[in-house]
Every structure is written in structure tokens, then in C-alpha cells.
Chains A and B, each alone.
Chain A
Amino acid sequence: DVKVTQSSRYLVKRTGEKVFLECVQDMDHENMFWYRQDPGLGLRLIYFSYDVKMKEKGDIPEGYSVSREKKERFSLILESASTNQTSMYLCASQSQGAMTDTQYFGPGTRLTVL
């Protein structure tokens, strides 16, 4: 059974703190994604990675960075958390095969920045 896990379900941080969100997949997928989910806005792509050490900006990368040192792990970093980064963060993975375009999601991390 495919599995994407995220390091925390709930996280509370203070403004200005550095925050790490971790995501691990066990499907040997090449692609991994970080989204944030906000009411009325749906899912917005922050960053994605198509290979180890490779990354591309999504639609809303400002205030975030990512790291992919191993194929199975993709980290989202908030360099200096701000209250407008309070949100639900979803990680997903996907194979690069032409006919396998399904994304598999983790359960999400609800981050509150005070």
C-alpha cells in the first residue's frame, strides 16, 4: 500500500521561528510536491522536486524554501515564520511515468503561527 507520511499533524510556532516540515514517501517516486490549502483558495503549489537536489518554484514560493537530499524525503522550510503562513500544508508524491500521473498525498500538517 502506498504511503506518504508527514512529520507532524499539528504544529504551533511563533513569528520569526524557523520551521521544518518533513515528508517521506515509500513508493520510489521521482516527483514530490508541497502545497498549502486555505479555505476558498483550494490547493496552491509552493515548490516541487523532480529529482534529488532538484527543485522548481510553484505558484507561491515566497517565504519558503525546500530541500531534497534523498529521493524519499522532501522538506519544506519556513525561514522566518509569519502569521500569514498559518495554513494546512500537504505533501504529495508522483511517479514520472507517462501513464502514471496520480498524486499521492500525506495527511497534512496544520501549522499555526502565533
Chain B
Amino acid sequence: GDSVTQMEGPVTLSEEAFLTINCTYTATGYPSLFWYVQYPGEGLQLLLKATKADDKGSNKGFEATYRKETTSFHLEKGSVQVSDSAVYFCALKSRGYQKVTFGTGTKLQVIP
């Protein structure tokens, strides 16, 4: 079945540091890939997504590229801010299915 593996946290970075959160997946066919973010006390919200190989999703300075050959969708940001402190979830949805499979989440803490 479908599965998502993402790096364990927490990840602690200083403001303006470079961020990478690794995500790899297992799926049949060609899934859509997502990063969701959960700020403290809130539900999840979509950060970015990519629907086919080599697509790059981007939003709020975050980027992730759909790599079919390595089955990966790593999240990156060049310069993190304190306001980026949150839990980040990698997820996939296989075509023709309504369910989304989530990773376990990576907590990011950015310190001034």
C-alpha cells in the first residue's frame, strides 16, 4: 500500500538558516504529492503540491520537487523565519483514490 516516510524531528534552526525536510514515498502509479503545515493550535493547511514528475511546487519561499527516480519530495527553504515554526507533513494521494496518506510530521522550531 501507499506510505510516506519523513525525517523525524524536532528540527531546530536559527533564523535565516537553510531548511531541508526529507520525504520519500511508496505508491502504485503516479501519485500527487503534498506538503501540509500545521501552526500551533490550528488544523493542517496546504503549503504546496506537485502532481507529476519533475514538477516543482512552491509557496511562501518553500519549494519541493517531485522526483520520481528517487521517489522523493523534499521540502526546502533558503532562509527560515521564526514564523515558520510549525509541524510539516508530507502526503500523497494516488490517482483514482480519495484517500490521502500522511507522513508522521516533522516539527520545526526556528529560534531568533
A residues contacting B by CB (< 8 A) are 4, 31, 33, 35, 40-43, 45, 48, 50, 58, 90, 92, 94, 96, 99, 101-108
Contacts and interface: CB of A to CB of B under 8 A. Distances in A.
Contact of B105 (A4, A42, A103): A42
B49 A102 contact: yes
B104 interface: yes
Nearest to B44: A105
Nearest to B32: A101
A33 B49 CA distance: 20
B98 A41 contact: no
A107 B43 contact: yes
B69 interface: no
B41 interface: yes
B24 to A, nearest CB: 15
A31 B34 CA distance: 18
A107 B104 CA distance: 18
